[in-house]
Amino acid sequence: MTQNLGELVASTKAYGIDSSARDAAKRGVIDSIATMMAGRVEHAVALLSRAYKPFTKGDAIEIFECDLVGTDAAALINATAAHVLDFDDVSLKGHPSAVMVPALLALAQERNAKGSELLDAYVVGYQVWGELAQRESDMHHMKGWHPTGIFGSVGAAAACARLLRLDAGAAAHAIGLGATQSAGLMANFGSMAKSFQAGRAAQAGIMAAKLAQQGFTAGADVLNHSQGFLQAFSPFGRVTRSAEIAEVGKEWTIQSQPMSIKKYPTCYYTHRTIDSILALVKDVDVSEEMINCVKVHISSEHATVLCNHQPRTGLEAKFSIEFAAACALLHSRVSLADLTDTVVLNPRMQALMSRVETVHATEYSEQWQGAAKADWVEILLADGRTLETEPVVYAAGHASRPLAREDLNEKFTSCARAGSMEIDSVEILDRLWNLEQENIDSLWSGLCG
């Protein structure tokens, strides 16, 4: 399989990547840059930048202070910034854009590459990521793995190999070198280390492709070996390890399984619950004094990931269904402004969170692994009444309910504002929506001033 994927990476120029695949990738690029800008002011990013900058100088811009550093350092810092708020897009069991876009931006600056080259490399990396993710029948979270850290280094390695135009043999070694750097633990959810795992995956992808370019080698069948990538990370060993891969050229994975764009800066497993509550409170006045209990109906698998039941920080709250429900009820929104330590520690918030409980679903989705057929909420009131939200199957922003272009533009603008980026969002967005014609170094330098 490793060799077959290497051939896929090297042969995509012959297949050609059509405009609809590039357009789908473009949404991931725009959303990732947006969340990167918002995340640049987070303490985790400041610490990472401070630790790395004394040791590396180069041709790529890191987002924290817009300084020039080496490509691997830029990928690490920028991918951490893109993921630290958990506002980045989701697909293929993880967060592909937060890993691949920062890696490709850094490498494209060094190579003076065009936007069309970056988009094609993104599509290829997405293809390899999806090829591996769809082979597992169980949720990696249940074993404690963070899928973004696991698949991200391989997807980023493939994308970077495509941007470097490696031949099939070298591309296969890049994929193998990405696989051997895979890492990420669920126990880090709610801490700085979670976003660091995305940063390391981006950094690993660049390192893997550059090493392979120099002739550094990896195992010939590192992906589907009996002791290789797929088997080692499989929660229960129910993984398909055959060497055959999906045929490309007719439809890319990014076309059949495009990313979902987040509307709220919390774990995606909270979004259906948030949508259901916000729809209710638009029409019904519900104050916290009226509420005895909030019962969130959700799958046990998603409840396991949402492991922080009484969060004390904004980072912890991102993985708390209790916070998501309480915030939606208290503020009729869940926004970047709500994911702060001050808001989380507010006595009203803490009190309402303590009255939220989960009910594990018995009916499961046929399309979404580990998800309930729908998520919904019961609100038990002090006067004896019970309010029920409408069940939500697909959250707003899901690939089947995509954000309109103007909504994605608004998210980009608000993220730039949250990150104190003094840019002309209209001009930058116009360039990003026409990314094929752009020079990445010129675009990125202009955005970062």
The CATH number that applies at residue 312 is: 3.30.1330.120
Are 351 and 211 within one domain?
A: no
What's the whole-model pTM score? 0.94
Q: Which of 362, 388, 414 is the last residue of a domain?
A: 388
Are 147 and 78 within one domain?
A: yes
Asked if residue 393 is part of any domain, the answer here is no
Asked if residue 399 is part of any domain, the answer here is no
Position 9 scores a pLDDT of: 94
Position 363 scores a pLDDT of: 93
Are 128 and 215 within one domain?
A: yes
CB 258 within 8 A of CB 126: no
Are 254 and 275 within one domain?
A: no
Asked if residue 394 is part of any domain, the answer here is no
Q: Which residue has the tokens 């002309």?
A: 424
Contacts of residue 337, defined as CB under 8 A and 6 or more positions apart, other chains included, come to: 343
Spatial separation of the C-alpha atoms in residues 203 and 337, rounded to whole Å: 30
Number of domains making up the chain: 2
Range of the domain at 288: 268-388
Are 31 and 175 within one domain?
A: yes
Are 184 and 273 within one domain?
A: no
Are 293 and 350 within one domain?
A: yes
Length of the chain: 449
Spatial separation of the C-alpha atoms in residues 310 and 328, rounded to whole Å: 16
Asked if residue 309 is part of any domain, the answer here is yes
Position 56 scores a pLDDT of: 75
Asked if residue 397 is part of any domain, the answer here is no
Position 17 scores a pLDDT of: 84
* DSSP secondary structure code for residue 402 in this structure: P
What six digits make up the tokens of 241? 């390890």
Position 213 scores a pLDDT of: 98
Asked if residue 49 is part of any domain, the answer here is yes
- 115-133 and 2-15 are packed helices; what angle lies between their axes, rounded to 10 degrees? 140
Phi, psi of 59 (to 5 degrees): -110, 0
Q: Please, what is the average pLDDT of the chain?
A: 94
Position 397 scores a pLDDT of: 94
Are 90 and 146 within one domain?
A: yes
Are 57 and 131 within one domain?
A: yes
Position 14 scores a pLDDT of: 55
Q: Looking at beta carbons, which pairs linking 328-334 to residues 24 or more positions away fall under 8 Å?
A: 328/273, 328/274, 328/277, 328/278, 328/281, 329/277, 329/281, 329/286, 329/288, 329/291, 329/294, 329/379, 330/288, 332/278, 332/281, 332/282, 333/278, 334/264, 334/265, 334/266, 334/270, 334/274
Position 247 scores a pLDDT of: 77
Q: Which of 347, 363, 388 is the last residue of a domain?
A: 388
Are 77 and 160 within one domain?
A: yes
Within a 13 Å sphere around the CA of 301, how many CA atoms are in the beta-carbon half?
Answer: 17
Position 369 scores a pLDDT of: 85
Asked if residue 396 is part of any domain, the answer here is no
Residues in the chain with pLDDT values less than 70: 13-16, 249
CATH of the domain at 231: 1.10.4100.10
Are 256 and 285 within one domain?
A: no
Furthest C-alpha separation in the chain: 72
